Amino acid sequence: MDTAHEERMTAARLPGDTIVAVLYEQHARIRDQFDAVAATSGPERAAAFDSLRELIAAHQAAEDVVLRTVTDKLLPAGLTRASSDEEAAVARELADLEGTDVQAPEFLPRLRLLEEAFDLHAAHEESDEFPAVLAELSEREQTELGHWMKRATRIAPTHPHPALAGHPMTEAVAAPFAALYDQARDRLAEVHGKTDA
C-alpha cells in the first residue's frame, strides 16, 4: 500500500473535515502530484510541475497560518522549529529545481530529492504535530481549524498574473516558488487579520 493511499485511509477514519483529516488529504494529493510529474514528459511535465509548485505553496502557507499557530502552543518549541526548518528545506529544494529544464536528465533525480524533503516533513508532522492536535483539541475545534485550513488553501493565490497563464516556462521564471509562497502567506495573513478583527 502506498503512502498516499494510507494517508487517505487515515483521513477517512477521522471525523468530518477536521484539520488533521484535511492535512492528510493534502499530503496525499501532493504525493500524487509528484507521481504525475514523474510520469509525464514535455509540456505535460511542465504543467504537472507547475501544479505541484502551486499545491506545495498553498499547502505550506496555509499550514504556517493555521497549523503552526496551534502547534506552537501545544508542542515544545524545538519540534515546531524543526517542522519550520523542514518546510524551508522543501522550499530550497524546490527553488533549486525550478531552474532546471523539466526535460533535462538531472530533473527527475532532483525531483526525487524534493520528494524526499517533502516526505520527511510530512512524516514528522504526522507523527508529532497531528497527534498533539488530536489529543489536545476538541472535535469542534479541530473541525473549525479544518474549515479554516480548507479556506486558507483555496484563497492562497498560487498563480502569477493571468497574462502568463498557459505558458508554463514563463510562469516558472515569473513566479518562482518563493514568490508563490510569499503571495500566499501575505494573502492569508491579510484575510486572517480581517477574520480576527
Amino acid 90: pLDDT:
86
The SS3 of residue 99 is coil
Amino acid 151: pLDDT:
85
Phi-psi category of residue 76: left, alpha or beta, with phi > 0 → left and psi -120 to 50 → alpha: beta
Q: Which helix (H) or strand (E) holds 9?
A: helix 3-13
CATH of the domain at 35: 1.20.120
Does position 78 have pLDDT exceeding 90, yes or no? Answer: no
pLDDT, tens digit (0-9, with 9 covering 90-100), for 130-163: 999 999 999 999 999 999 888 888 776 554 333 3
Number of separate domains in the chain: 1
Average pLDDT over residues 88-102: 86
Amino acid 69: pLDDT:
84
CA-wise closest residue to 91 among 32, 168, 179, 26: 179
* Residue 12, domain extent: 3-196
**Per-residue confidence band for 195, with pLDDT thresholds at 50, 70 and 90:** very low
Average pLDDT over residues 88-100: 85
C-alpha angle 97/53/88, rounded to 5°? Answer: 70
CA-wise closest residue to 50 among 138, 169, 134: 169
- Average pLDDT for the chain: 81
pLDDT higher at 153 or 109: 109
Does position 197 have pLDDT exceeding 70, yes or no? Answer: no
Q: Where are the alpha helices (DSSP H) in 63-167?
A: 68-74, 77-98, 107-124, 130-136, 139-155
Asked if residues 175 and 94 have their Cβ atoms less than 8 Å apart, the reply is no
The share of the chain scoring above pLDDT 90, in percent, equals 47
pLDDT higher at 91 or 190: 91
35-39 long-range contacts (CB < 8 A, ≥24 apart) are 37/102, 37/111, 38/108, 38/111
**Per-residue confidence band for 191, with pLDDT thresholds at 50, 70 and 90:** low
The share of the chain scoring above pLDDT 70, in percent, equals 78
pLDDT, tens digit (0-9, with 9 covering 90-100), for 41-67: 999 999 999 999 989 988 888 888 888
